[in-house]
Amino acid sequence: MHLLDENRCREVIRRAGSPFFRGRVDVVSGVLVEAVGIPAGMGELCRIERGGGDPIEAEVIGFRGDRTLLMPHGNVVGLAPGQSVYALGRTFGIEVSDGMLGRVLDGFGHPLDDRAPIPGGHHRDVRQAAPRPLSRSAVDQPLSTGVRVIDGLNTVGRGQRLGIFAGAGVGKSTLLGQITRGTEADVVVACLVGERGREVRDFLEETIGETALARTVLVAATSDRSPLERLTAPWVAVTIAEHFRDQGKNVLLVVDSITRFAHAAREVGLAAGEPPTVRGYPPSFFALVPQLLERMGRTALGSITGLLTVLTDGDDDDDPVADALRGLLDGHVHLSRDLAQAGHFPAVDVLGSLSRLMPKLVTREHELHARHLRELLSAYRDGRDLVDVGAYHRGTNPVLDEALERMPAIQALLRQDVDDPTPFEETVEVLKLVSGLAGVPR
């Protein structure tokens, strides 16, 4: 405890010894503040004195002539031209500690659950560089999620980045709850971006559950919060995940949703004067996403497995956000509205989903059984219409015949109750029985 206090004192002295530059607010427009006379760099924090109100921190997001463009960390109420602005000489950072487990934080890392301040901790800058490519360890160990359709047919590795692509109301949150409660990860860091306020408590109590809460940190920036807070929340979440990763733990980082993170980036970028490109998204968004994703992965110390949801507008998988993410991720799980409407949960479209790292994570036997089951599902999909109208005759297609025979068992494997996690080894054994592929080398 003495060492912790000494480190804090050194940090206070360092900040106190840094020069402060004073400017003034010139224009307040929407969520943007324009200041003059303040030499601050991109990403630097500034403090705005709000007259009789509490000062507010703001972040430099761009420049317009001799004006510095600031995005406040909060509401702009009370800001007015002429107020003093001070450059703090540092970028945004948070205090991280093990005391965050079981807590709910806002998009800037402050407690949101009306409980006591988080004890202990050390300072970490939120915008850090990703681990160097050659310092990363290979992703060669599976991470059990407890969900059979993922563990058996789209196996996830420790340190992998996987996207869940789904339209609204297809069971995305339900699947996240299954994974969060059933995963073997040591720590879960969940980040809700742009959700409705009531959904935070629902996610906490229903999706995560009381049992998993003890190993979970929840970061929430609801839809009514400033665009900068919604943009910052995933960076805060990955910074917290890095704290636990550096302790040698396997961390599952859930971001729901990356699409609303993109919307916040669009608001900030357009306010800063960036030119709109595809569907109004500024160029900075397509540079930010790789920087965020590369912070995840596996190192010599531990791992951060990223699970990012992508809300496809109108079930359009060619949405620019979905298209950009698909090329950066190590795999994708596609949720089907047709399956959801038929009462099939989790509504995972096996043939439309893929884990790129699965061959490196599972045995040759597991891979061949999974491949054969996919073959059966493909034959069933292609021949189902003929079967339904009675135009198919048994014996015409041996693969379709086998698929029809095994389909009840396959459906039982792919469907799963939300409160029924299945151990990874059990999933593999069931997959072998359902697949029925003979003569597979071990």
Q: Is residue 77 located within the same domain as residue 200?
A: no
Q: What is the predicted pLDDT for the residue at 302?
A: 94
Q: Give the CATH number for residue 249.
A: 3.40.50.12240
Place of tokens 């109208």: 389
Whether 396 shows a pLDDT value over 50: the answer reads yes
Q: How confident is the model at residue 15 (pLDDT cuts 50, 70, 90)?
A: low
Q: What is the predicted pLDDT for the residue at 331?
A: 93
Whether 10 shows a pLDDT value over 80: the answer reads no
Domain ranges, residue 429: 365-435
Q: Give the CATH number for residue 81.
A: 2.40.10.170
440 part of a folded domain: no
Over residues 282-304, the mean pLDDT reads 92
Q: Is residue 110 located within the same domain as residue 81?
A: no
Q: What is the predicted pLDDT for the residue at 2?
A: 43
Whether 388 shows a pLDDT value over 80: the answer reads no
208 part of a folded domain: yes
Q: Is the dihedral of CA 121, 125, 130, 134 positive or negative?
A: negative
Q: Is residue 377 located within the same domain as residue 355?
A: no
Q: How confident is the model at residue 434 (pLDDT cuts 50, 70, 90)?
A: very high
302 part of a folded domain: yes
Burial 184-223 (b: 16+ CB within 10 A, else e): ebbbbbbbbbbbeeebbeebbeebbeeebbebbbbbbbbe
Over residues 278-282, the mean pLDDT reads 81
Q: Is residue 113 located within the same domain as residue 139?
A: yes
9 or 437: whose pLDDT is higher?
A: 437
282 part of a folded domain: yes
Q: Whole-number mean pLDDT of the chain?
A: 88
| Residue 272 near residue 219, CB atoms below 8 Å | no
Q: How confident is the model at residue 68 (pLDDT cuts 50, 70, 90)?
A: very high
Q: Is residue 351 located within the same domain as residue 397?
A: no
Q: How confident is the model at residue 393 (pLDDT cuts 50, 70, 90)?
A: confident
Tokens of 246: 């550096």
Q: What is the predicted pLDDT for the residue at 151?
A: 96
Q: What is the predicted pLDDT for the residue at 308?
A: 94
Q: Is residue 248 located within the same domain as residue 202?
A: yes
Give pLDDT tens digits for 404-414: 999 999 999 99
Last residue of a domain, one of 91, 110, 137: 91
Q: Is residue 102 located within the same domain as residue 80?
A: no
Whether 328 shows a pLDDT value over 80: the answer reads yes
Q: Are strands 250-256 and 216-221 parallel, antiparallel or unpaired?
A: unpaired
9 part of a folded domain: no
10 part of a folded domain: no
Whether 19 shows a pLDDT value over 60: the answer reads no
Q: Give the CATH number for residue 406.
A: 1.20.1270.330
Sheet strands (E) in 211-327: 216-221, 250-256, 297-298, 303-311
- By CB neighbour count within 10 A (0-12 exposed, 13-18 middle, 19+ buried), where does 9 fall? exposed
* Axis-axis angle for helices 398-414, 364-388 (nearest 10): 110
Give pLDDT tens digits for 194-230: 888 888 888 888 778 777 888 999 999 998 898 999 9
Over residues 271-298, the mean pLDDT reads 88
Last residue of a domain, one of 73, 91, 109: 91
211 part of a folded domain: yes
Give pLDDT tens digits for 89-145: 889 999 999 999 999 999 999 998 888 888 878 889 998 889 999 889 999 999 999
Place of tokens 């979440």: 237
Q: Is residue 101 located within the same domain as residue 73?
A: no
Q: Is residue 169 located within the same domain as residue 106?
A: yes
State whether residue 363 is helix, strand or coil.
Answer: coil
In which element (H, E) is residue 416 found? Answer: none
Q: Is residue 84 located within the same domain as residue 137?
A: no
Number of domains in the chain: 3
Q: What is the predicted pLDDT for the residue at 25?
A: 92
Sheet strands (E) in 92-213: 93-96, 104-105, 122-125, 161-166, 187-193
Last residue of a domain, one of 29, 57, 91: 91
Q: Is residue 292 located within the same domain as residue 206?
A: yes
7 part of a folded domain: no
Nearest of 252, 293, 298 to residue 137 by alpha carbon:
298
> What is the four-CA torsion angle of 50, 55, 61, 63, rounded to 10 degrees?
40
Q: Is residue 133 located within the same domain as residue 263?
A: yes
| Residue 75 near residue 228, CB atoms below 8 Å | no
Q: What is the predicted pLDDT for the residue at 312?
A: 82
Q: CA-CA distances (angstroms) from residue 105 to 87, 95, 147, 185, 220?
A: 26, 12, 28, 21, 6
Q: CA-CA distances (angstroms) from residue 338 to 47, 150, 224, 318, 356?
A: 51, 19, 32, 18, 25
Whether 1 shows a pLDDT value over 50: the answer reads no
